[in-house]
Structure 1
Amino acid sequence: MKYRELGESALQVSALTFGAWAIGGWMWGGADRKEAVEAIKASLDEGVTSIDTAPVYGMGVSEEIVAEALQGVARDKVQILTKFGMRWDVKQGDFAFHTQNNDGQEIDVYKYAGKDSVIQECENSLRRLKTDYIDLYQIHWPDSTTPISETMEALDILQKQGKIRAAGVCNYSTAQFMEAEETLSLASNQVPYSMVERSIEKELVPYAMARQKAIIAYSPLQRGILTGKIKPGHQFGEGDTRSGSRFYQPENLTKINAFLDEIRPMAQEKGATLSQLVIRWTIEQPGITVALVGARNAEQAIQNAQSIHISLSPEEIGVINKHLSNLSLI
């Protein structure tokens, strides 16, 4: 495994970090708790030391699963990354969306990051995670109803109290990132990035590289579409929201599969899966510090982690990028 520092935070994480969204079940059509625990343990055995989760992933379920999987593991050997700012238990802030929890109950989710709320959420996460501190604490989505400076002040308090080691943001624009740093030095920005979603390359990546800030890329497999296993006409299970994504629309799905067929021979030559090739490409991109890769079971977790052993030359990356340049999605 490769390990990289998050910005100038002195926090070392594994370049491939376990993404714990899917194991929470919510928005993924459910998940098997036992298999989820085994997936995390398998990742640890492969050298993955970092796990990224969030309270809203299953309304606390994902964090609880992470805690279960880490029982008996020395705390200083792993890095726990979690988030705040998506409240389903208060009606305050930006209304985000209406959904159902894992029990089928109707709930409203709000983006809220007021100072008191952030501090309360941290305590809740510490309890669910069964730990004394969080390695990286990140606002999940911007909250337009709370000044960014107020949210950053809460993070500063938590950092001084030793409850978090480093602070980060998720889904922040470059302008929001800059504003946040007027109050607090941040370690990272977690944003969507994949072969088919590269919008951050225009502004955010150059900004982060110039100021030695980390970029944590989520959905590098674009929620499974870049595995090559999802074909046009695929039927999603109940509660799986991927069917509404533009990437899964029939025309785009056809184009993406055609692109994957073009790079499939390279994966085969390396004795790798398409997923492994895509993951390795992701962490080789300029400015990308970490790729979050989710897994529902141990087999998937092992395959993801072993992506680190694939070698990609600059020429091979150039070939992949050439094919990508011809991919035009609607």
Structure 2
Amino acid sequence: MTMEYRHIAGTDLKLSVITFGSWAAGSWMWGKTDRNDAIAAIRAACDLGVTSIDTAPVYGQGDSENIVGEAISGISRDKVQILTKFGLRWDAPEGKGKFFFKSQDNDGKPIDIVRYAGKESVIAECEASLKRLKTDYIDLYQIHWPDKSTPMEETFDAVGRLIEQGKVRYAGVSNYTAAQMAEAEKILPIVSNQIPFSMINRGIEAETVPYCIEHNKAILAYSPLERGVLTGKIKPGHVFAEGDHRADYRFYTDENLVKINAFLEKLKPLAEAKNATLAQLVLRWTIDRPGITIALAGARNAAQATANAHAVDIALDPDEIAFIDENLPEI
């Protein structure tokens, strides 16, 4: 196989079209993931040409970043791009930020997740991430969610300071609307938006995708497999492990699973003709979608990471893409 890479406008970054997403690696909200398996997954992906790895401090309250740091410790730093985030705190200073949701830490203790991107917090988060990742710079630093409790100027002035210091190379956003991107761009050059997108979750195509195409901004599509449901392995009545957030996710109701699996049945002959899995077909479709730069795909073990990387082996012709598009379900 030959991995594909896409240039991020306004930078010297070339990200692998399949980027390793390490949310599940931190075991947070996905049930338990074996640490050694997670490290092996990242290394297997890198061996197949996956050069970009996305993580965040909140994934396992530092565990995911620690795992990424260990996994890439033997790889030349200029051969891998580290994408991480800031602005979701489980340990926010008292009275700061805006409550986001209740969760549990990896020991099962209740924690409040807070959106907070004040200046000192951004700088402190960056320093902590650098230590966990065992590096002296972050290639792409992304605000995890909009923080309406902090002036945008304060947040991005802090990121600008980190760029000036060489601790961050480029600034991105995550979960931003087109209007929010335009506002942030007035303060600091923004090169990308990491945002959810999948065959059954295409809302960003109304405004955000056109904005990014017009302004030459990269879109890093997360949850392209919609947290596993588009693999075809989740059936009505599925029982999730304790601590797995997907049990309450809207696409996992039995009613929606019936609709989704009926759609996937239509795709199976095409996947089989390509000697591919449904997941690989979905990932290929995603990175071929107009405006989508790369797809983030998570993996709990080396086998899953290897399968994800091999999605680039598939080629879809215009008729095959049209067939898929004509059958996309509205969920």
The TM-score bracket by the shorter chain reads over 0.9
Residue 171 of structure 2 aligns with which residue?
A: 167
Map residues 28-177 of structure 1 onto 2, 5 A cutoff.
28-90=30-92, 91=94, 92-177=96-181
Counterpart position of 1:274: 278
Which of 190, 197, 200 lines up with 1:193 in the alignment?
Answer: 197
TM superposition score normalised by structure 2: 0.98
Instruction: Check the 8 A contact 2:26/2:60 in 1, yes or no.
Output: yes
SS in 1 for 2:45: helix
Asked if the contact 2:200–2:330 (Cα under 8 Å) also holds between the matched residues in 1, the reply is no
After TM superposition, give the deviation of residue 216 of structure 1 in Å.
0.4
Paired residue type of 1:61: D
The correspondence for 1:16, drawn from 3, 9, 18, is 18
| Contact kept in structure 2, 1:11 and 1:166, CA below 8 Å | no
The CA distance in 2 between the partners of 1:289 and 1:12, in whole Å, is 10
Q: Tell me how far 1:104 sits from its aligned partner.
A: 1.3
**How far has the Cα of 1:99 moved from its partner?**
1.1
Residue 106 of structure 2: SS of its match in structure 1?
A: coil
* 2:297 is equivalent to residue 258 of structure 1: no
Q: Does 1:182 align with 2:173?
A: no
- CA deviation after TM superposition for structure 1 residue 308, in Å: 0.5
Q: Give the TM-score normalised by the residue count of structure 1.
A: 0.98
Counterpart residue identity of residue 12, structure 1: K
Q: Which position in structure 1 is the counterpart of 2:245?
A: 241
* 1:77-100 deviation per Cα after TM superposition (whole angstroms, max 9, x unaligned): 000000000111124201011111
Superposition RMSD on alpha carbons, in Å? 0.7
Q: Which amino acid aligns with 1:76?
A: D
In the TM superposition, what is the alpha-carbon distance from 1:11 to its structure 2 partner?
1.3
Distance (Å, rounded) in 2 between the aligned partners of 1:175 and 1:30: 37
Aligned residues: 327
Query: Residue type matched to 1:184 in 2?
Result: L
Q: 1:287-302 alignment to 2 at 5 Å?
A: 287-302=291-306
> Displacement, 1:103?
1.2
- Is 2:224 the partner of 1:224? no
- Do the aligned partners of 1:93 and 1:146 also contact (CA within 8 Å) in 2? yes
SS at match of 2:282: helix
- Give 4+ residue runs of structure 1 displaced > 3 Å after superposition: none
Cα displacement string for residues 104-133 of structure 1 (whole angstroms, at most 9, x for unaligned residues): 122111100011110110000000000000
Q: State the one-letter code of the partner of 1:201.
A: E
Residue 206 (structure 1) aligned to one of 207, 210, 221: 210
Q: Distance in 1 between matches of 2:116 and 2:88?
A: 6
SS in 1 for 2:190: coil
Partners of 1:112 and 1:145 within 8 A in 2: yes
**AA partner of residue 129 (structure 2):** S
CA drift of 1:328 comes to 2.9
In structure 2, runs of 5+ residues without a counterpart are none
Measure how far apart 1:222 and its partner are.
0.1
Q: Which residue of 2 aligns with 1:321?
A: 325
Q: CA deviation at 1:298?
A: 0.3
> How far apart in 1 are the matches of 2:148 and 2:239?
36
